[in-house]
Structure 1
Amino acid sequence: MKKKKQNRQQPVKKEDKPATLGDLLNQDIMEKLKAQQKDLKEQEEQKKQAEIQRKKEEQRLREKNKSFEELLSESEMDWKKFK
């Protein structure tokens, strides 16, 4: 004897995707958050640029204040070649 298979219908869902944060918040709040995110990115970029500029200035001052001995030791020139 064969048993009859029971056909179960799955409930039909309109959306299979879970609700996102953007769906739950209203449009004004989303715009404010995106603007704030953009501002934070710009501030971070400005900080990076300032740090790069500071390091360049620090390197320039270090080079400027080197003694003759330091400059001579870093030089790749060999006086024996020019003898």
Structure 2
Amino acid sequence: MQLKDALQKDVLEKLKQAKQELAAVEVEKKRAEEERKREERKQRERNKSFAELLEESDLDWKRYKG
């Protein structure tokens, strides 16, 4: 094995490691973004008025009028 081959293997390993690290960072970013969106949805749901919640409801409120 020559020095050139050893250097190429070393560079290749470093590139593979960098690729794995970037993939891990990307997965973490995606998870954080999903969590942020989930929290935003929860907050919007909490901030809805009773009329908005009633309007979105699947129940047929006319049946319960007396």
TM-score, with structure 2 as normaliser: 0.81
Alignment RMSD (CA, Å): 1.6
Asked if 1:48 corresponds to 2:27, the answer is no
Structure 1 alignment gaps of length 5 or more:
1-22
Structure 1 runs, 4 residues or longer, greater than 4 Å off: none
The question of 1:35 aligning with 2:13 is answered no
Aligned length: 60
Cα deviation per residue 1:23-68 (whole Å; 9 max; x = unaligned)? 8x61110100000000000000001000100010000000001001
Which of the pair has more CA radius of gyration? 1
In structure 1, what residue type is equivalent to 2:50?
F
- Mapped to 1, the partners of 2:61 and 2:8 lie a distance apart of 76
The TM-score with structure 1 as length reference comes to 0.65
Is 1:79–2:58 an aligned residue pair? no
Higher RCO (C-alpha 8 Å, min separation 6)? 1
Q: Structure 2 unaligned runs (5+)?
A: none
Query: Which residue does the alignment assign to 1:60?
Result: 42
Give the percent of matched residue pairs that are identical in Structure 1 and Structure 2: 52
What is the identity, as a one-letter code, of the residue corresponding to 2:17? A
